[in-house]
Amino acid sequence: MKNFLTKTPVVITLALICCALWGSAFPCIKIGYRMFSIGGNDTASQILFAGIRFLLAGLMVILICSFIYKKPLIPHNGTTVKRIFILSLFQTILQYVFFYIGLANTTGSKAAIIEATNVFLAILVSGLLFKMEKVTSKKMLGCLIGFIGVVIINLGNGVDAHFSLTGEGFILLSTVAYAFSSVIIKYFSDKENPVLLSGWQFFVGGFVMILCGLAGGGHIAGDSAPAVLLLLYMAFISACAYTLWSLLLAHNPVSRIAVYGFSNPVFGVLLSALLLHETSALNIRCLVALVLVCAGIILANKEKAV
């Protein structure tokens, strides 16, 4: 399995599948807010909605992979439970609570640009703080090119120099949480099953977010079949994409995988155009951004993975 997950065609295919799934979450979240009657500024209900999604994602991973492994996918000791809570704190709770509160206080385009810095942060945290790999000029140049692509695709969509702690500041904090979660999953995967960690951290994180959402007065209203199916699909996005991403991180350098994250907003724009009919976003900027993102990924992966 380890050799299989380090092969370049496999890495490219699985990483892009993950990013395409995450990209589809952008329009699905907008559709979901409409189906479940969640206001754009109703942060508590948004956190509650996300919590239900992540709890369902955790259940999907735990149940389906227990069937695949032919044994219950449950933690068997206190050390594993502790690692699950640590990972869940960074990957789900901090990242998404900061993200949803921040998103309510800034524009989607500014959030997408700030979120793209998580690639830089993941590589820096992995290389400088945890000494897991070298931070080379090629990796950073590739990141810079990919980041420019993300900026270009969002130009002119409410991007300005305004900065607030609870808006852009919280989005930045969510990227810091993501960067640490990428390194934590790689570190813990040397000692634990990354699939088990993925499923249970979602379950724990989703449960905590549900409590936070309810405590803040959040509520959702939507019991139609399309609304339920959409929620299940969004849970599948998290369950499938993050589990695959965790497996890739477990067997590859963080920089080799993290850089594919630049393609998330590109997929988001393309799928929003398809599902939300936001065709105005499909222009020369989108093409240039796609080229730069691809160039950045290729350059950052130029060196042979270790």
CA 179 to CA 194: how far, in whole Å? 17
Who has greater pLDDT, 27 or 78?
Answer: 78
Domain boundary assignment for the chain: 4-300
Give the model confidence (pLDDT) of 30-48 as tens digits. 888 889 988 878 889 999 9
Residue 40: the pLDDT is: 76
Classified as helix, coil or strand, 14 is helix
Residue 211: the pLDDT is: 96
Question: Do residues 122 and 186 touch, judged by C-beta distance below 8 A?
Answer: no
Q: Which two tokens stand for residue 69?
A: 């492994």
CA 306 to CA 304: how far, in whole Å? 6
What letter does residue 89 receive in the DSSP assignment?
Answer: I
Residue 264: the pLDDT is: 82
* Residue carrying structure tokens 């993950």: 18
DSSP track, 260-291: GGGGHHHHHHHHHHHHS--GGG-SHHHHHHHH
CA 262 to CA 143: how far, in whole Å? 8
Most confident range (mean pLDDT) of 177-191, 197-211, 284-298 is 197-211
Question: Directed axis angle between helix 194-215 and helix 95-103, to 10°?
Answer: 40
Q: Give the amino acid at 305.
A: A
> How many other C-beta atoms are found inside a 10 Å radius of the C-beta of residue 64?
16
Classified as helix, coil or strand, 94 is helix
Q: Looking at residues 127-141, what average pLDDT do you find?
A: 85
| Global confidence as pTM | 0.84
Question: Do residues 299 and 138 touch, judged by C-beta distance below 8 A?
Answer: yes
**C-alpha distances out from residue 279 to 73, 224, 269, Å:** 43, 28, 9
* Residue carrying structure tokens 């227990």: 66
CA 303-172-233 angle, to 5 degrees, is 80
CA 285 to CA 302: how far, in whole Å? 25
Give the model confidence (pLDDT) of 205-220 as tens digits. 999 999 999 999 999 8
Give the model confidence (pLDDT) of 228-278 as tens digits. 999 999 999 999 999 999 999 999 999 899 889 888 877 877 777 777 676
Q: Looking at residues 123-143, what average pLDDT do you find?
A: 86
pLDDT grade, residue 109 (50/70/90)? low
Q: Looking at residues 133-156, what average pLDDT do you find?
A: 83
Q: Looking at residues 196-206, what average pLDDT do you find?
A: 96
pLDDT grade, residue 306 (50/70/90)? very low
Residue 281: the pLDDT is: 56
Q: Which two tokens stand for residue 68?
A: 């695949």
Does pLDDT of 80 surpass 60? yes
Q: Looking at residues 77-101, what average pLDDT do you find?
A: 93
Residue 161: the pLDDT is: 64
Closest CA to 159 of 262, 167, 280: 167
- What's the chain's average pLDDT? 86
